[in-house]
Structure 1
Amino acid sequence: MSISDLYSNGKHKQEVGHFASIVKIAKTDTIITEGEQKLLNRTAERLNISEEEYKLILKNPEKYPVNAPVSYDERIERLYRLTKMVFADDEVSKEEVKLMQKIAVALHFPTDNVEKVCDEAIHLVLNDNDLEDFTSSIKEVNAV
């Protein structure tokens, strides 16, 4: 096995874990709405999740751990996608926000600042900020 195979397998594991986190948020209220389904389909395609993996993850997302990327920008991008899923059904529940905060900690956002980071993430997505603006704002809020 070449080093590029190892990298791609590790990267794919990160993507599977990230997709599972998004599924967990979608399933928080036990119903996957049409908006959530569309976002799941787009995300699965973007993350190269096979149809078989998709079905397995949808059935049991808890089985897949969060594998945080090393890159800070990639972790912020994951937070962005998670926040988009929170809004996919046009409602934000306390359960979704709590789960989002847990996942943000797993993405290595500091526990003492995760609430502030997630609040800002929700505010930014609510105001339709793109990934670039989202990233710069999260970096400001999370500056140590």
Structure 2
Amino acid sequence: MSISDLYSRGKHKQEIGHFASIIKIAKTDGIISEGEQLLLDRAAKKLNINEEEYSVILKSPEKFPVNPPVSYDERIERLYLLTKMIFADEDVAKEEVGILRKIAVALHFSADNAEKVCDEAIHLVLNDNDLDDFTAAIKNVNAE
């Protein structure tokens, strides 16, 4: 087995963990709205999640660990996508924000700073900031 095989498997585990996190947020209110379903389908495609994996993860997302990427920018991008999922059904639930904070800690944002980082992430997505602006703002908030 080559190193590239190991890397691709490790990368795919990260993608599966991230997709499971997105599903956890989508399922917090017990239903997946049309907007959430669209975002899930796009995320699955972007993360190379096949139909079989999609179905298994959808049934039990809690069985899959977060597996955060090493890159700080990739972790911020994951936070961005997760925050967008909160707004996909146009109804932000308190439980979704709680899950987002837990996942932020799992993405290696400090437990002491996760609330501030998530509050800023929500504010940025609410104001329709793109990924570049989101990344710069989160780096600024997380550096404090």
Distance 2:38 2:94 in 1: 22
Q: Post-superposition, which runs of at least 4 consecutive aligned residues in structure 1 deviate over 6 A?
A: none
How far 1:108 moved relative to its partner? 0.2
Deviation at 1:10, TM superposition (A): 0.0
- 1:2-81 mapped onto 2 (5 Å cutoff): 2-81=2-81
Unaligned runs of 5+ in 1: none
Q: Which residue of 2 aligns with 1:111?
A: 111
Q: Number of paired residues?
A: 144
Secondary structure at 1:41 match in 2: helix
* SS across alignment from 1:142: helix
Q: TM-score, normalised by structure 2?
A: 0.99
The percent identity for this pair of structures is 77
Distance 1:29 1:61 in 2: 14
Deviations 1:98-122 (A, max 9, x none): 0000000000001101000000000
Q: Which whole-Å deviations, capped at 9, do the CAs of 1:80-111 have from their partners, x for residues lacking one?
A: 00000000000111100000000000000011
Letter in 2 for 1:19: F
Instruction: Please report the TM-score for the alignment, with normalisation by the length of structure 1.
Output: 0.99
CA RMSD for the aligned pairs? 0.5
CA distance, structure 1, for counterparts of residue 91 and residue 130 of structure 2: 20
Unmatched 5+ stretches in structure 2: none
- 2:113 & 2:47 partners in 1: Cα distance? 28
Instruction: Supply the distance in 2 between the matched residues of 1:29 and 1:94 (Cα, whole angstroms).
Output: 10
